[in-house]
């Protein structure tokens, strides 16, 4: 979901003139980093649960 939103924002930054593209691209980078952080957290919780069940 994060990657879809990031892609949409990047396209808007490119095709809509007059928008602050630097700010939008920084937002895209932050959005992608946030998605990655959430994924790592969920993977860690899954691994911990798998380790406890053994």
pLDDT, position 4: 83
What's the domain range around 12?
2-53
Q: Name the 3-class secondary structure at 25.
A: helix
Name the domain count of the chain: 1
pLDDT, position 54: 65
| Helical (H) or strand (E) element with 19 | none
Tell me the per-residue pLDDT of 1-53, one tens digit each, with 9 for 90 and over: 667 878 888 888 888 888 888 888 888 888 778 878 888 999 999 999 998 87
């Amino acid at each position: 979901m994060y990657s879809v939103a990031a892609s949409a924002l990047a396209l808007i930054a490119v095709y809509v003139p007059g928008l602050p593209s630097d700010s939008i691209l920084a937002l895209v980078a932050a959005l992608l980093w946030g998605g990655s952080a959430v994924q790592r957290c969920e993977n860690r919780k899954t691994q911990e649960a798998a380790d406890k069940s053994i």
